Amino acid sequence: MFVFGDSLVDNGNNNYLDSIAKSNYYPYGIDFFEGPTGRFCNGKTVIDGMCDLLGLPYLPAHANPNLNFSKLLAGVNYASAAGGILDVTGTFLGGRYSLKQQVLNFEEDLTEIKASFSHEDDYNKFLSKSIVVMVLGSNDYINNYLLPTLYTSSYTYTPEQYANLLLNEYTRQILAILSLGIRKFLLAGVGPLGCIPNQRASSTGSTDQCVGQVNQMVGYFNRGLRSLVKQLNTDHPGSVFLYGNTFDALEDILGNPTKYGFTVIDEGCCGVGRNHGQITCLPFAIPCTERDEYIFWDAFHPTEAVNMILAKRAYTGPPDDIYPINLQQLAQL
């Protein structure tokens, strides 16, 4: 499995040495890898949950200096915190890999992988059995469109135009990966960003309510992405593209928290001034003790408990959760 995305699925690509240090900061995360966790979570990300269900080892970061050929064959995580579909997204936060750069990093690794195969047919079979998971788009809103003091995108594009801009660039990079021989894709939609603590706190309304305007913006992107999946499946009959309905899955959890064992839906478990929803969990900050009862770990990211629910819904869920087939069925093809 090869992963492209943002901080929701990142495991240490921005700064490898720094992420090793973060993995040792009590009480965050668990060092599942030989290297860093680098995760914005109290434990496993949704990708880790998928690895568990698929029987795969946890994926190393592309930036891991100890990444060798044997690890490459099991899969790699190219995701980058603050990275987006657009190259300009998140630039104010410093070094990060945009989707375009993540794809270039993937191409670099494939060159090494291909050289190790004696027969090209074996290499092509390896690619055809591999799965690409892409989790992108959130940062293009949070760290771009919704920051009018830093970016002009919200003045230049209507929400619908901006969604189309993102989808056009997304399509280019998806086709670039497809041209390399990958045939299985899972494209995750963006969750209800208007419901994260950061946006609740930024709203002039009550923090008890989601910001409907933001969720409407995300809706344009998600509907376009689902349509793109249908079109890609039509245009490329030898490949399979899935759409992960992250928005509805998270909306279900937010709307029925007790059903899933959650009691806190509008603030993060960790972060200085976590009730204000403005920051991520800082080193040595004291998080809540009832972490399984919180939907959000910090102002932006879900807890491990939520990630495991999302992973299971992607793995065995019906078409309402993942379309047109689920991850388990994709892996069996």
Pairing of strands 264-268, 240-244: unpaired
Cis status, amide bond into 27, omega within 30 of 0 = yes
CA–CA separation, 281 and 81 (whole Å): 14
Written as six digits, the tokens of 236 are: 């490329």
Which residues fall within 8 angstroms of residue 149, CB to CB, at 6 or more apart? none
CA–CA separation, 140 and 230 (whole Å): 23
Q: Tell me phi and psi for residue 134, to 5 degrees.
A: -125, 120
DSSP code, position 193:
G
Question: Which of the residues are catalytic?
Answer: 7, 298, 301
Task: Spell out a b/e string for 36-51, using b for 16 or more CB atoms within 10 Å of the CB, else e.
Answer: bbbbbbbbbbbbbbbb
Task: Order the strands of the 76-77 sheet from edge to edge.
Answer: 76-77, 2-5, 131-135, 184-188, 240-244, 322-323
